[in-house]
Amino acid sequence: MKIQDLKLRFGIIGNSPQLDHCIDIARQVAPTDLSVLITGESGTGKETFPQIIHFLSARKHGPYIAVNCGEIPEGTIDSELFGHEKGSFTGAHEARKGYFEVVNGGTIFLDEVAELPMLTQARLLRVLESGEFIRVGSSKVQKTNVRVVAATNVNILEAIEKGKFREDLYYRLNTVPISIPALRDRKEDILLLFRKFAADFSDKYKMPTLALLPEAQKLLMDNRWPGNVRQLKNITEQLSILEKSKEINAETLLKYLPKESMASVPMILRDAYNGSGDYSERELLYKVLFDMKKDLTELKSVVANMMSSNAVEISNDKIFHGTGQVDHLPTIITPTPIASYHSAGSNVTIEPADMNIDAHTEVKDEPLSLADKEKEMIIKALEKHRGRRKNAARELGISERTLYRKINEYEIK
């Protein structure tokens, strides 16, 4: 079955190559019985892919069940998944089949699998390896033939490091990984999704369809969308119901966009809210560097003037004002010895006569290579997040794809 036909059947909107790649993986793995682990942020539509896999598999005529592991209380999760015997715990008035028994011959989708307790993870691992399970309160081993597809929005490798997820279970589930792209990484699909949602809500509420003005379209595409497709759909519904004018401008749209979702870089937030941001990711990074260079030059001038006027003592990488205020500065080697001079309101003492500093000392403007600084910032971000490109890209305010390209461009190991 072609990718486009699958999109039509399961209501998938978008032409992003990344999205098409995920659908293609699901299509290829479907005829097998391999376990699949679907990862991606909340709201990206992970629940659609297990349905594609089941539909294209030999189990398509068998049962399919989706279980949200995060919604089931820890005390009853084993009973829900594996069943229980009568009297096995308080309230167990009769024997009950679990999901793995009911779905025998079909497919089970375990959403939010990282929320499973450690004991339940051990039981699940046994099912995956041998197809065996035991009901709660029973000693009889039972068999089941189930295809398992799991999904999570949690970084499982971090969960493993913290002892919250079994490493052996991760590798058993992750036989075939599918990583669903975030909405901000498939910007070409944002307007398509908005128009689809706007048309749906227009039909549902019997009202004119929303139309975005050009500046509103740009603002919609520049938003980070932490809630992804789900958030976009909710905002479109709010606009459809609450706005009398169906022509939406940037000012109106801003009322519905959380400010924190646009703050990848301070200037991005400011420019986007003014409706004047036309920067690419690289230009934004350059603008930050130019501002840093300007601030550093001004700071050097201020320090030189203050030193020449004998108004402060510079030592231990700090500058002391007469008011007692302390600012941190780059390391400056101070002349010695320092005798005694009392500044009002402060305990700072210096000897002007012994500070042989030329008042007309030129402040050198050090050359600033944008490429070097950009590389340095990327390296620092990667070191800070221990090589995790996703977190480093978020800190830098760029997409993970752009970060990967720059790592290769600068040959960063």
C-alpha closest to that of 128 among 106, 152, 146, 109: 146
Terminal CA-CA length for the chain: 41
The CATH number covering residue 385 comes to 1.10.10
Task: Please tell me whether residues 223 and 346 are part of one structural domain.
Answer: no
Task: Please tell me whether residues 331 and 402 are part of one structural domain.
Answer: no
- CB burial of 346-381 (b: ≥16 within 10 Å; e: otherwise) equals eebebeeeebeeeeeeeeeeeeeeeeebbbebbeeb
What pLDDT digit, counting tens, does each position of 112-135 carry? 999 999 999 999 999 999 999 999
Task: Please tell me whether residues 110 and 254 are part of one structural domain.
Answer: no
Look up residue 20 and give its two tokens: 């098409």
313 falls in which pLDDT band (50, 70, 90)? very low
Q: Provide mean pLDDT across the span 158-182.
A: 96
pLDDT of residue 285: 62
pLDDT of residue 385: 85
Look up residue 137 and give its two tokens: 């309160």
Task: Please tell me whether residues 203 and 259 are part of one structural domain.
Answer: yes
Higher pLDDT, 38 or 310: 38
Residue 57: inside a domain, yes or no?
A: yes
Residue 321: inside a domain, yes or no?
A: yes
Residue 115: inside a domain, yes or no?
A: yes
**DSSP 8-state code for residue 246:** S
The CATH number covering residue 265 comes to 1.10.8.60
What pLDDT digit, counting tens, does each position of 5-48 carry? 999 999 999 999 999 999 999 999 999 999 999 999 999 999 99
Task: Please tell me whether residues 71 and 154 are part of one structural domain.
Answer: yes
**DSSP 8-state code for residue 314:** E
Residue 361: inside a domain, yes or no?
A: no
Residue 391: inside a domain, yes or no?
A: yes
Residue 279: inside a domain, yes or no?
A: no
The CATH number covering residue 42 comes to 3.40.50.300
Domain range for 295 is 286-354
Count of CB atoms situated within 10 Å of the CB of 96: 17
Task: Please tell me whether residues 65 and 171 are part of one structural domain.
Answer: yes
Q: Residue 151 pLDDT > 60, yes or no? A: yes
Task: Please tell me whether residues 14 and 129 are part of one structural domain.
Answer: yes
Helix (H, G, I), strand (E, B), or coil: what is residue 395?
helix
What's the total number of domains in the chain?
Answer: 4
User: What are the residues whose beta carbons fall under 8 Å from the beta carbon of 174, sequence distance 6 or more?
Assistant: 35, 37
pLDDT of residue 301: 72
Task: Please tell me whether residues 168 and 190 are part of one structural domain.
Answer: no
Residue 174: inside a domain, yes or no?
A: yes
Higher pLDDT, 397 or 127: 127
Residue 360: inside a domain, yes or no?
A: no
**DSSP 8-state code for residue 343:** P
Higher pLDDT, 31 or 348: 31
Look up residue 318 and give its two tokens: 């700090």
Task: Please tell me whether residues 53 and 130 are part of one structural domain.
Answer: yes
Higher pLDDT, 276 or 375: 375
Helix (H, G, I), strand (E, B), or coil: what is residue 164?
coil
pLDDT of residue 184: 95
Task: Please tell me whether residues 256 and 379 are part of one structural domain.
Answer: no
Q: Residue 267 pLDDT > 60, yes or no? A: no
pLDDT of residue 57: 97
Task: Please tell me whether residues 177 and 254 are part of one structural domain.
Answer: no
Task: Please tell me whether residues 122 and 250 are part of one structural domain.
Answer: no
284 falls in which pLDDT band (50, 70, 90)? low
